[in-house]
Amino acid sequence: MSRNIYLESTPLHEALSKWLQRLDSGLVMRPLSGEKIKVTDSLGRVTAQAVTADISSPFYHSSAMDGYAVRFADTFGATERNPKRLKTGEEAVYVDTGDPIPDRFNAVIMIEDVNIIKAKSKEQSSEATATEYIEILSPATPWQHVRVIGEDIVATELILPENQKIRPVDIGAMLAGGHIDVSVRRKPKVVIIPTGTEIVEPGSDLKKGDIIEYNSRILGGLVCEWGGEPVRFRIIPDNLEELKKAILEAYDMGDLIVINAGASAGSEDFTAKAIKDLGEIALHGVNIKPGKPVILGWVKEKPVLGIPGYPVSAYITFNLFAKPLLYKRQGIEMEEPEILRAKMSRQAASVIGQEEFLRVKVGKVGDNFIATPVTRGAGALMSLVRADGFVRIPAMSEGLGAGAEVDIELMRSKSEIESTIVCIGSHDNALDLLANILKKRFPGFSLSSAHVGSMGGLMALKRGEAHMAGTHLLHEETGEYNVPFIKRLLTGRKIILMNLVYREQGLIVPKGNPKDIKGFKDLTRKDVIFVNRQSGAGTRLLTDKCLKDIGIKQGDVRGYEREEYTHMGVASAVLTGIADTGLAILASARALDLDFIPVAKERYDLAIPHEFIETEMLRRLIKIIQEDSEFKNIVTALGGYDVSDMGKVIYEG
């Protein structure tokens, strides 16, 4: 096993400036050459040279009104008392808006301002052959109601400068200025080489050890969004010679070569070696998390990027090191990400010495933007899908305390964030359905839920970090759900408690129940491993009550200390053999086709502070909960739910 674990750990700003300098000295920071395309196909492209008007617009004097073209000198002296007559066809000619003004005329009188008069001269015997005149009551001024040549665009005038991204109106102006072709920057091409013996194409028959290749599609999508053209190379196995051949083959296919992955220093990581053999490595290893093992390299006259394999690392490093190049090559400036100032809802520790890119969800609760970190693993693609933005934690920081003010680089617009209902608390599968139905009915609104348990949800309401909390806390003494806890934890706050569902909790076991688990008493068996929920979860309280009821000590349950944060997490642990059983709702067992031993029926409510009830987004959501039959039906179809009180206000105070 040959390993080279000595990656550099260059600070990000140093790495970036080194990379940009290397690109600059390699002459690839200059805009690409132009290519001639049809103006009508140029939307979103970037001009490669200034566009000046070939012809004026309008290119002839034209009427700006429906009316009569006249010589203004002929109209001198016309008044209401002394109207003036002009002979049509000779001294006045009818023109529609846009019609050219005949050469000898230099003003237009609006149709509304003339009287048309037929007058017979001595020689004319009938009305039909009578001469027609227009009668006017005031003089015209020179060039009135005339769009003179070049009024909009004068020939030779600058229509668009070089390096201008072309918008719909720019297309119109170029056509009006007499152009049918335009020289635009060639789109920068990025060749993306996916590597890895274990990598397979989406849609393949999967076997253990296979990894579906999707990073190249994420990177390709980003290239498109940045105005470039992605070229996806075939998958290359972990083999130094094949990788080198691939780089040389890719060389003529694009302006930047990206190898994903093999950028680390493992026994099968050949990217650095391949680049070094063919060219040079400017830098290997940047002091960021995730994304450390990035390679900035150079082969002959082209930049070659080695991008780490974990999707979050790939996304971050590609944004940092490829995006500036793509913009420079098009001759345009990168747009600054929208920055939002927010407060951290909870602490996020960070390792000193590495700059961390923390993904966060953001919600606006009352007047405050609240940021909550999502899963931090570099392999957690869904953390990117769900994130609203990034917080950068500087290398020399130990992390962020709860309540810390942070600047978030947004991945969603601020207005989307403002239209998001923040639900923190206990997880229930019905919440996912509710989120989807809300988005379906009212695309402008979203429901975002964070799963921290019932107790955590009520505490979030208390701290003003959520619009609502899902809760199913059983009060042991009174046997009452939720209300005693709200009274105690949210003293003085006006809270509405609304039922969402009653649901069945039970022990989830593998299909066919191979270990023949019948109930909580089996949890003391040596061959049974349990999976628990986190403290503060209603399900955890239920577990503890069940154990206490039959006199089992927590220490006697194998796996009691392994905590999951959702019902699906528990079901998944059972499905995959991490545990033999765990307490969760029927819907999660159904979802993964597992068996279920009923333990209790419980009430799952939503607690909503009174001040949010009348916001438009909450009103929409409550309307769905109370009235939407499709929602009721799909929740019922999940199994284990009783929706008879759905939307009923249980408590208000």
DSSP characters over 116-165: EEEE--TT--SSTTPEEEEEESSPPPTTTTEE-TTSSB-TT-EEE-TT-B
Q: Which is nearer to a second copy, 8 or 132 (CB)?
A: 132
* Residue 2 touches a second copy, criterion: CB under 8 A: no
Total residue length of the chain: 653
Q: Which stretch binds a second copy (CB under 8 A): 155-163, 242-250, 482-490, 536-544?
A: 155-163
CB of 551 to a second copy, least distance (A): 27
CB of 99 to a second copy, least distance (A): 6
CB of 313 to a second copy, least distance (A): 12
End-to-end CA distance of the chain: 67
* Residue 156 touches a second copy, criterion: CB under 8 A: yes
Q: Which is nearer to a second copy, 43 or 351 (CB)?
A: 43
* Residue 9 touches a second copy, criterion: CB under 8 A: no
Contact pattern for a second copy over residues 311 through 330, marking x by CB under 8 A: x---x---------------
Q: Which is nearer to a second copy, 47 or 482 (CB)?
A: 47
Nearest alpha carbon to residue 568 among 451, 479, 402: 451
Q: What values do phi and psi take at 67, rounded to 5?
A: 170, -150
Q: What values do phi and psi take at 35, rounded to 5?
A: -135, 145
Q: Which is nearer to a second copy, 267 or 554 (CB)?
A: 267
* Residue 151 touches a second copy, criterion: CB under 8 A: yes
* Residue 144 touches a second copy, criterion: CB under 8 A: no
CB of 389 to a second copy, least distance (A): 13
Residues 82-111 within binding reach of a second copy (CB under 8 A):
94, 96-100, 106, 111
In terms of Cβ atoms closer than 10 Å to its own Cβ (0-12, 13-18, 19+), residue 623 is middle
Instruction: Kindly list the strands in the beta sheet with 84-87, ordered across the sheet, starting from the edge strand earlier in the chain.
Output: 84-87, 131-136, 114-119
Residues 564-623 within binding reach of a second copy (CB under 8 A):
568-569, 571-573, 575-576, 578, 591-592
Cβ contacts of residue 420 below 8 Å, gap of 6+? 363, 364, 445, 446, 447, 448, 617
Which amino acid would we find at residue 520?
F
Which bin fits 366, alpha (ψ -120 to 50), beta or left (φ > 0)?
left
The pairing of beta strand 280-284 with beta strand 295-299: antiparallel
Q: What values do phi and psi take at 497, rounded to 5?
A: -110, 120
Instruction: Tell me, by CB under 8 A, how many residues bind a second copy.
Output: 119
Given a contact cutoff of 8 angstroms between Cβ atoms, the answer to whether 39 and 181 are in contact is yes
CB atoms closer than 10 angstroms to residue 65: 19
* Residue 332 touches a second copy, criterion: CB under 8 A: yes
Select from 23, 159, 258, 423 the one that contacts a second copy (CB under 8 A): 159
* Residue 624 touches a second copy, criterion: CB under 8 A: no
CB of 445 to a second copy, least distance (A): 9
Q: Which is nearer to a second copy, 66 or 642 (CB)?
A: 66
Residues 459-518 within binding reach of a second copy (CB under 8 A):
none
Residues 434-453 within binding reach of a second copy (CB under 8 A):
435-436, 439-440, 443-444, 446
CB atoms closer than 10 angstroms to residue 307: 29
Can the peptide bond before residue 188 be classed as cis, meaning omega within 30 degrees of 0? no
* Secondary structure element (H or E) that encloses residue 78, with its range: none
Distance CA 434, CA 647 (A): 12
Residues 24-63 within binding reach of a second copy (CB under 8 A):
39-40, 43, 50, 55-62
CB of 529 to a second copy, least distance (A): 9
* Residue 149 touches a second copy, criterion: CB under 8 A: yes
* Residue 73 touches a second copy, criterion: CB under 8 A: no
CB atoms closer than 10 angstroms to residue 23: 22
* Residue 64 touches a second copy, criterion: CB under 8 A: yes
Residues 384-423 within binding reach of a second copy (CB under 8 A):
384-385, 413, 415, 419
Token pair in block for residue 464:
């003003």
Residues 169-228 within binding reach of a second copy (CB under 8 A):
169-173, 175-176, 178-180, 196, 198, 202-203, 206, 208-209, 211-215, 217-222, 224-225
CB of 74 to a second copy, least distance (A): 16
* Residue 351 touches a second copy, criterion: CB under 8 A: no
Tell me which residue has tokens 């649901």: 503
Select from 6, 33, 81, 112 the one that contacts a second copy (CB under 8 A): 112
* Secondary structure element (H or E) that encloses residue 384, with its range: helix 381-386
Q: Which is nearer to a second copy, 244 or 329 (CB)?
A: 329
CB of 310 to a second copy, least distance (A): 9
Select from 377, 401, 514, 598 the one that contacts a second copy (CB under 8 A): 377
CB atoms closer than 10 angstroms to residue 466: 32
Tell me which residue has tokens 């395309």: 37
Q: Which is nearer to a second copy, 29 or 600 (CB)?
A: 29
Q: Helices marked H in 177-322 — which ranges?
A: 215-225, 240-251, 271-278, 311-321
Nearest alpha carbon to residue 115 among 99, 95, 93, 137: 137
Select from 157, 301, 516, 616 the one that contacts a second copy (CB under 8 A): 157
Contact pattern for a second copy over residues 255 through 294, marking x by CB under 8 A: ---------x-xxx--------------------------
